[in-house]
Amino acid sequence: MASSARTVEEIFKDYTARRTAILRALTLDVDHFYGLCGPDRENLCLYGHPNESWEVSLPAEEVPAELPEPALGINFARDGMNRKDWLSLVAVHSDSWLISLAFYLAARLNRNERKRLFSMMNDLPTVFEVVTERKPVKDKPSIESGSKSQGSTKRSSDGQVKSNPKIADADYEDNEDELGETLCGSCGGNFNADEFWIGCDVCERWFHGKCVKITPAKAESIKQYKCPSCSMRSGRH
């Protein structure tokens, strides 16, 4: 799917949409993605499209291709590697493709514009960091260890995480840096107190409500929230 992005903002929007699609394939839709990548099939690529959809498909037939192409033959190594290692490998190649595509589109930008584009992209965690759940440099006990000891609902209508009362109340500003390092398990975006978040009670990952289609009103009626991946796993047993 071609892109008409030309300005810094347009290219960044294209980058984030394709990145969201790739992340969905490697996290929320990972079982479906894994099943599509049989080693018995031809050389396959993982594409993320500007409409936030993803696709496992053969590479473009044009030579050279209209746009930079993703890594070729990701399916061949699937059964010869540990599943997590294989997904990590696909994630690294996907990061490389997303960056190369963005800078292909940025060819006509000037030096300062390219620098600003890279800065905007670099503010987001890489696909590899999200997929491998790499821990931030700083610990965040207020989200993980703290929330479990309090045993609260882990959701709030005003967007502030209320798993630990200290975060939402007097000490919230003191912990804002740690909260900011929490990543959405779907899109990989950073925590933002202005957005509604919900935590999975099974895998303990956190998600934007919009990414998992949970509104604050709907969250109030949920006693135990399971993210889409955990719900799919439990449904098989």
Q: In a 3-state reduction of DSSP, which class is residue 153?
A: coil
Q: What is the pLDDT of residues 180-231, one digit of tens each?
A: 567 888 887 777 777 888 888 888 888 888 888 888 888 888 888 888 888 8
Residue 66 has pLDDT above 60, yes or no: yes
More confident residue, 96 or 143: 96
3-state DSSP call for residue 78?
helix
Give the pLDDT confidence of 108-143 residue by residue, as tens digits.
999 999 999 999 999 999 999 999 987 544 444 344
Domain assignments of the chain as residue spans, ordered by start: 8-132, 197-234
Q: Percent of the chain, pLDDT > 70?
A: 76
Residue whose token pair is 């045993």: 151
How much is the pTM? 0.60
Phi, psi (rounded to 5 degrees) for 204: 65, 15
Q: What is the pLDDT of residues 68-88, one digit of tens each?
A: 999 999 999 999 999 999 999
For residue 161, give the H/E element and its range: none
CA-wise closest residue to 161 among 209, 126, 202, 125: 209
Sign of CA dihedral 185, 187, 190, 192: negative
Name the CATH superfamily for 197-234. Answer: Zinc/RING finger domain, C3HC4 (zinc finger) (3.30.40.10)
Task: Assign 3 a pLDDT band (cuts: 50, 70, 90).
Answer: low
